[in-house]
Amino acid sequence: EVDLMESGGGSVQAGRSLRLFCHVSGLSFEDYSIGWFRQAPGKEREVVSCISSTSDTKFADSVKGRFTMGRTFLQLNNLKPDDTALYYCAARFDYSGRCYMTANEYAYWGQGTQVTVSS
């Protein structure tokens, strides 16, 4: 069984950093891609970043240059109030090395971890 669980969220002041973690079980490290998505109250879900099975990464324009990513974590630097959202990690099987930036491409999801950024 594939299981994902996020952790590391919290409430911080703008300009501070957080590191979110995505714990994945049931998948081989080399055979899946990870995506991070976020959803604020009243807003649609949006992509944050992705990392492929070959460690290629992509970032949304809104976080590019501020966030970094590994296969087990999402580092959020220089946080802004607009970053406030419930953050989800997701996984999908991948053998091509492609990095997926669309939520519907992912089959497995965690329950989310809350990030709140105050001004």
Angle at the Cα of 91 (from 87 to 96), degrees rounded to 5?
A: 135
Helix (H, G, I), strand (E, B) or coil at 1: coil
pLDDT in tens, 33-86: 999 999 999 999 999 999 999 999 999 999 999 999 999 999 999 999 999 999
Q: Which stretch of DSSP H or E encloses residue 17?
A: none
117 touches 13 (CB < 8 A): yes
Contacts of 100 (CB under 8 A, 6+ apart): 33, 35, 50, 52, 92, 94, 106
Output the six-digit token pair for 82.
């607009």
pLDDT in tens, 69-79: 999 999 999 99
